[in-house]
Amino acid sequence: MNEIVLETEALTKYYGSTLAVDHIDLKIPRGCICGFVGRNGAGKTTAIKLMLGLLNPTTGSSRLLGCDSSALTSAIRQRIGYVTEGHRLFRWMTIAGLEKFQRSFFPKQWDDKFFADMIEYLNLPKKKKIKHLSNGQRAQVSLALALAPNPELLIMDDPTLGLDAAIRRQFLEGMIELIMRQGRTVLFSSHILGDVERVSDRIVVIDKGVLRANCSLEQFQKAIKKVILSFADSAPDEVNIDGLLHCKRIEKQLELTLIGTDDEKISEWAKSVGAENYHIVKMNLEDQFIEFTAPANHKRLFQWEER
Ligand code: ATP
CATH code where residue 267 lies: 3.30.70
Nearest-atom number in ligand 1 for the CA of 16 is: 29
What is the residue range of 264's domain? 222-293
pLDDT of residue 303: 61
pLDDT of residue 171: 78
Among 208, 233, 254, the domain-final residue is 208
Question: Which DSSP state fits 293?
Answer: H
Query: By C-alpha distance, which of 193, 155, 163 is closest to 293?
Result: 193
User: Would you call 279 exposed, middle or buried from its count of C-beta atoms within 10 A (0-12, 13-18, 19+)?
Assistant: exposed
pLDDT of residue 299: 42
Residue having the nearest C-alpha atom to atom 10 of ligand 1: 45
pLDDT of residue 298: 45
The answer to whether residues 257 and 129 belong to one domain is no
Cα–Cα distance, 49 to 70 (Å, whole number): 11
Nearest-atom number in ligand 1 for the CA of 191 is: 2
Give the CATH number for residue 202. Answer: 3.40.50.300
The answer to whether residues 150 and 233 belong to one domain is no
The answer to whether residues 188 and 283 belong to one domain is no
The answer to whether residues 185 and 231 belong to one domain is no
This prediction has a pTM of 0.90
Nearest-atom number in ligand 1 for the CA of 46 is: 11
Residue 54 lies in a domain: yes
The answer to whether residues 56 and 178 belong to one domain is yes
How are beta strands 4-15 and 59-64 bridged, if at all? Answer: antiparallel
* 3-state secondary structure (DSSP) of residue 240: coil
Residue 97 lies in a domain: yes
pLDDT of residue 54: 94
Which residue among 22, 40, 45 is best mutated to probe the pocket of ligand 1, counting the most ligand atoms within 8 A of its Cβ?
Answer: 45
Residue 300 lies in a domain: no
Q: What's the average pLDDT block by block, 10 residues per block, for the chain (307 residues)?
A: 90 97 95 94 96 96 96 92 78 88 85 87 83 84 87 90 82 78 88 93 94 93 94 86 89 91 93 92 94 68 58
Among 149, 181, 208, the domain-final residue is 208
Residue 303 lies in a domain: no
Distance of CA 188 to the CA centre of its chain: 5
Q: How many CB atoms lie within 10 A of CB 23?
A: 15
